[in-house]
Amino acid sequence: MMSKKYFGTDGVRGTVGKDPMTADFAMRLASAAARVLVPEGGKVVIGKDTRLSGYMFESALEAGFVAAGADVLLLGPLPTPACAVLAQEFGADLGVVISASHNPYQDNGIKFFDGKGSKLSDDVEYAIESELEKPAMTVDSTSLGKAVRIDTARTRYQEFCATTVAEGLTFDGINVVFDGANGAGYKVGPRTLVNLGADVITIGCSPNGRNINAGCGSTKPDLLRKTVPAVGADVGIALDGDGDRVVMVDENGELIDGDQLLYILATARHSSGDLKGPVVGTVMSNLGLEHALRDRNIEFRRASVGDRYVLETLRKEGGIIGGETSGHMIVLDRTTTGDGLICALQILAVIKETGTPLSKLAAGMRKYPQTMLNVQVERRMNPDESPAIRKAVHDAQLELADTGRIVLRASGTEPVIRVMVEGTDLQQISAVAKRLAAVVADAAN
């Protein structure tokens, strides 16, 4: 398929004020999306994270959709997955989120959900892009849409989150440190946990429009790792700026990443008989996860990098649990898309139901050492197309046998080939990675 000009793996994203992240583009994008998805008028929900530029893009998108004849429901600052949930609850045809996820505040992005809370397909994104060269449309005055701000959006999402744990289960006695990344989950996260009975200490829950993801959240969990043991908490939870990623910290201050969370959820569902289909990770998921699940007779599949591809594989294979090492976690028997808070609630439920601390729940999975080298290349290339690289990878895999794994990926955003090697022996995988990186550099340049 041809490459898309604006849409990446998760909507449109960039530096605010530079193409495409301008107010003018946002209005044209809304108009293009309306022509493709609500050509006869309809209902659109718009949410955002806490970036200062969110006000500008919210207004531009509102204008584009209303001018195209669509009614707009403004949800305010809410996690990305909350907007997917509320799009369904309000009977909307389309959900829009203004966020650049884990990026700094100078960036922003726009992403879409359909009326069922699922991300748009590649074909729909191509169709929207094909309409972007046209100016923003304005329908006849009698057909213009209107905009309404929904003041109950946050409490509605909190109530939904509470329904994802077993009826009657509370988190009484569990002490949680919650890191909201100064982002979209800064209110709904702590309030949902408190409503379920947890004792909560917050960090990263004082957004000012410029501090989203700054020294906090799932991509920078050092403060959380120090805080949890310092205050004697049982667990730490860190979302990213838009709330679709989560990592956790055990009672000892050790980081529990997406692979380990996936292992805990999968084994708990397997033990209760509720696991359906295979567990889905990505090509970058740690080999230790695959082996730990195999030892428990749990099927495992790998998808391409990106939570949308994890979701596609889950649906194709009939699975319900999938995710990425970064903490994009999907629990399809609870919600329709990746949701950091809902994943954390499921983990807390396992802790409460089993009486087992998070450190012991994660101990059943051994994380294998992993080495990643980035090889700069003069031009973008597919490493699989080089005979020299294919031979080097084949020989290296024979050396590692079933105790190691190799992944070569071309970056989607820069001229870099990522060489990843993991296995049981750190010295061996480091040597293999260096050899492969040298072959890639010779073949590419």
pLDDT at 192: 98
At residue 337, does pLDDT exceed 80?
Answer: yes
Q: Assess if residue 25 is contained within a domain.
A: yes
Q: Do both 164 and 248 map to the same domain?
A: yes
First vs last Cα of the chain: how many Å apart? Answer: 26
Sign of the torsion formed by the C-alpha atoms of 210, 213, 217 and 220: negative
Average pLDDT over residues 407-432: 88
For the stretch 343-356, pLDDT in tens is 999 999 999 999 99
Please say which residue of 338, 362, 386 terminates a domain.
362
Q: Give the pLDDT confidence of 40-65 residue by residue, as tens digits.
A: 999 999 999 999 999 999 999 999 99
Catalytic, 130? Answer: no
Mean pLDDT over 409-430 rounds to: 87
293 and 194, same domain (yes or no): yes
Q: What is the CATH number of the domain that holds 436?
A: 3.30.310.50
Evaluate whether 227 touches 233 at the Cβ level (below 8 Å). Answer: yes
- Residue 240: is its pLDDT beyond 70? yes
Residue 9 has pLDDT above 80, yes or no: no
7: in domain: no
Residue 230 lies in a domain: yes
Residues 6 or more apart whose Cβ sits within 8 Å of residue 202: 177, 178, 179, 180, 186, 190
Please state, rounded to an integer, the average pLDDT across all residues of the chain: 95
What tens digit of pLDDT does each residue of 181-191 get? 999 999 999 99
- Shared domain for 93 and 214, answered yes or no, is no
- Residue 14's DSSP bridge partners are 108
Per DSSP bridges, beta strands 12-15 and 107-114 are: antiparallel
Q: Is residue 6 part of a domain?
A: no
Nearest to 70 by CA among 62, 58, 59, 78: 62
How many domains does the chain divide into?
A: 3
Q: Comparing C-alpha atoms, which of 146, 153, 137, 180 is closest to residue 62?
A: 146
CA-CA distance, 224 to 202, in Å (whole number)? 10
Q: What is the pLDDT of residues 19-41, one digit of tens each?
A: 999 999 999 999 999 999 999 99
Distance CA 77, CA 205 (A): 13
Question: Rounded to an integer, what distance in angstroms lies between the CA atom of residue 188 and that of residue 344?
Answer: 13
Q: Cα(323)–Cα(337) distance, rounded to whole angstroms?
A: 10
The answer as to whether 4 is a domain residue is no
Same domain for 168 and 314, yes or no, is yes
- pLDDT of res. 381: 78
Instruction: Specify whether 250 is located in the same domain as 322.
Output: yes
Among 362, 378, 393, the domain boundary falls at 362
HSE value, Cβ hemisphere, 13 Å, CA-based, for 209:
5
Whether residues 248 and 172 fall in one domain: yes
Give a three-class secondary structure readout of the chain: CCCCCCCECCEEEEECCCCCCCHHHHHHHHHHHHHHHCCCCCEEEEEECCCCCHHHHHHHHHHHHHHCCCEEEEEEECCHHHHHHHHHHCCCCEEEEECCCCCCCCEEEEEEEECCCCECCHHHHHHHHHHCCCCCCCCCHHHCCCEEECCCHHHHHHHHHHCCCCCCCCCCCCEEEEECCCCCCCCHHHHHHHHCCCEEEEECCCCCCCCCCCCCCCCCCHHHHHHHHHHCCCEEEEECCCCCEEEEECCCCCEECHHHHHHHHHHHHHHHCCCCCCEEEECCCCHHHHHHHHHCCCCEEEECCCHHHHHHHHHHHCCCEEECCCCEEEECCCCCCCCHHHHHHHHHHHHHHHCCCHHHHHCCCCCCCEEEEEEECCCCCCHHHCHHHHHHHHHHHHHHHHHEEEEEEECCCCCEEEEEEEECCHHHHHHHHHHHHHHHHHHHC
Query: What are the pLDDT digits (tens) for 139-166?
Result: 999 999 999 999 999 999 999 999 999 9
Its domain, for residue 215, covers: 157-362
For residues 418-424, average pLDDT: 94
pLDDT over 70 at 241, yes or no: yes
Domain assignment present for 421? yes
CATH of the domain at 27: 3.40.120.10
pLDDT over 60 at 1, yes or no: no
Residues 254 and 282 in one domain: yes
Mean pLDDT of 381-398: 91
Of 346, 362, 378, the residue at which a domain comes to its end is: 362
Q: Compute the distance between CA of residue 109 and CA of residue 48 in angstroms, rounded to an integer.
A: 10
Asked if 33 and 96 sit in the same domain, the reply is yes
pLDDT in tens, 270-298: 999 999 999 999 999 999 999 999 999 99
Q: Which of 262, 213, 264, 240 is nearest to 341 (CA)?
A: 240
Write down the catalytic residue from 31, 99, 101, 118.
Answer: 101
Does one domain contain both 318 and 426? Answer: no
Considering only the C-alpha atoms of the chain, give the largest distance between any 2 of them, rounded to a whole number of Å: 71
Q: Residue 412 has what pLDDT?
A: 62
Return the residue matching tokens 């050790």. Answer: 254
Segment 121-132, tens digit of pLDDT:
889 999 999 999
pLDDT score of 248 more than 90: yes
- Classify burial at 19, counting beta carbons within 10 Å of its beta carbon; exposed 0-12, middle 13-18, buried 19 or more: exposed
Residue 171 domain-assigned?
yes
Q: Do the domain assignments include residue 122?
A: yes
* Per-residue pLDDT band at 413 (split at 50, 70, 90): low
- Domain identity same for 62 and 174: no
pLDDT for res 234: 98
Together in a domain, 146 and 198: no
Residue 199 and residue 124 share a domain: no
